[in-house]
Amino acid sequence: MGPKFPHIKVIFGAVVFLSLLFFTLSSYRVSGVIPINLSNDAPSIHTITVTVTTTAKASPTKSCPKSSTTSISPEQLDVEQIEADFPGGYKNPNPWFQTPSSPKAYAKELKGLLTEEQLALLPAFKAAAQHWPDKLRKIESFYGINRTGSWQDHINSLDDDGLSPLTKWAQQYIYDHQNPEDCSGKKFYVLKNKWPRHGLGAIIRRVFIEMSVAMQTNRILIFDPENSPGNTLVEEDCAEHRGANASLECVIEQLSSCAAYATPENSVHEIDTSEIKDGKVRDTVPFAELAYSSYFGGTGVSPGGSVLRYWWRAQLYGFILRPNRAALERMADLRLNKTLHQGYETNRGNVAKPDPREVPFPLPPSTISIHIRHGDKAGEGRLISTRDYIVAAERFLLRNPLSYMKRAFMSTEDPGAIAEAKRTPFINPIRSFGNIDWTWYYSNIPRVDGGPQANLALAHNKTDSLLTHMMQLWMAVECDTFVGNRNSNWNKMIDAIRCTLMDKCRAPYIDAGFMADWINFP
């Protein structure tokens, strides 16, 4: 006797057949045998060109079908330009939506609504914003003001959460290697000045690479007393008071307390890789590398590669670039000299007449550091325009309106960049920032749109000029947000110092250039 419900088998078979057919067609569609037309789905807003190419895998029995290429117009997605957010200006379609006016416009009217007790409290709010006691203490210590201890004491007083991981340990580890309790029996690597035309940032980078190698051979790095790195950045007589020749150590802490123990017998001028156990020179010191990876043990994170190298080099930046006591005193004098610094609040009503503003110490909360690297950088890579730096800052501000303001400390070798900024109250026309127009802070120091040596030559004393530029670096680290381009050594110094000599490593860093410029930088 046949099945009771034969039609069920027929239906089931049809479902299976249709499912297999649908799956087969979908597979062909995804693999490119049936091309997908994306042009109808492309968004119609602004930017980049995207090319999608789909091809089918070749098989022994079938010829490979032609690829299908669909281009999105360059006018559609300009993600790097701030106008892409609101290309025609922001116009909310709801009739009830209105951008509120700034309290500044009717401050007198507001004050008339307050009691005498409330009015009396207003000056205290201003004082609290300008001089938070803990922030002021840290910044003063950073400049050596009211600090009696060493750089290591300063670092140990900072908040661990704001430092790069293991900074306090790493700084002590490097210091102990360079400054052992007993210098006898130690080996040395005596480093000559191989880079007479380099600026400060490039020389520091060269020195810390050599120091990392020296540590891998268990040698202490010292500067050659006759031809020391950085001797072209300072005056020839800058070290006469201590019976030494010109050196970068005229302005930074002496790298080692054991330099007097170096002899021809225990020293080398070039590293022999055979001194390393496996003969392999690494980007990092093995102990530091394992300490860093062990720090993250149990968290499910295994950092390495470019991140590990960047962390280690930031630690070496921090250790080498510690101004000595005399340098700090001069930098503090320069910083507190009110006539040396200038501030302007731009005026969109008349860009030719910005309003002067005092530059306080420390810089106000939410101030952005913008270091614009122009000059001879064009010989090494592409230049980022002043406008692009400002665009990067405004994009960040528009997304973080509660904590950040349109005010920035600008450092640069290009006087044209400062002139352009003073004429720029805004790029994005949106009025929803904490303040409507930009306030720019900068220092009135000699500038030429050229290389480091050309800028040092503008002053009558190269040593003092170098300290003035180092003071610019310290002012940048006073800030709470950072815009730069890590393809620049100076921007790398800002990035490293904020994470090792100050506890601002969690502060936002916005790169105005390629986002990944830091990854493969030599």
Distances (CA, A) of 35 to 20, 25, 103, 308, 417: 20, 12, 58, 44, 50
Tokens of 34: 């049936």
The answer to whether the beta carbons of residues 480 and 507 sit under 8 Å apart is yes
d(CA 147, CA 136): 12
What single letter denotes the amino acid at residue 171?
Q
DSSP 431: -
- Put simply, whether the predicted model's pTM sits higher than 0.85 gets the answer no
Give me the domains of the chain, ranges plus CATH numbers: 42-79 (no CATH), 158-322 (no CATH), 327-511 (3.40.50)
The answer to whether the beta carbons of residues 208 and 317 sit under 8 Å apart is yes
pLDDT in tens, the chain (522 residues): 444 555 666 666 776 666 666 555 454 433 333 333 333 333 333 333 333 333 434 444 444 444 444 443 434 333 344 455 555 555 556 666 566 666 666 778 888 899 999 999 988 887 776 667 888 899 999 999 999 999 999 999 999 999 999 999 999 999 999 999 999 999 999 999 999 989 999 999 999 999 999 999 999 999 999 999 999 999 999 999 888 999 999 999 999 999 999 999 999 999 999 999 888 999 999 999 999 989 988 787 777 788 999 999 999 999 999 999 999 999 999 999 999 999 999 988 888 899 999 999 999 988 999 999 886 665 556 678 899 899 899 889 888 888 888 999 999 989 999 999 999 998 877 666 667 899 999 999 988 877 777 777 777 899 999 999 999 999 999 999 999 988 888 999 999 999 999 999 999 999 988 777 777 765
Sequence-distant (≥ 6) Cβ neighbours of residue 218 within 8 angstroms: 187, 275
Tokens 């840290």 identify what position? 138
Tokens of 110: 């507001």
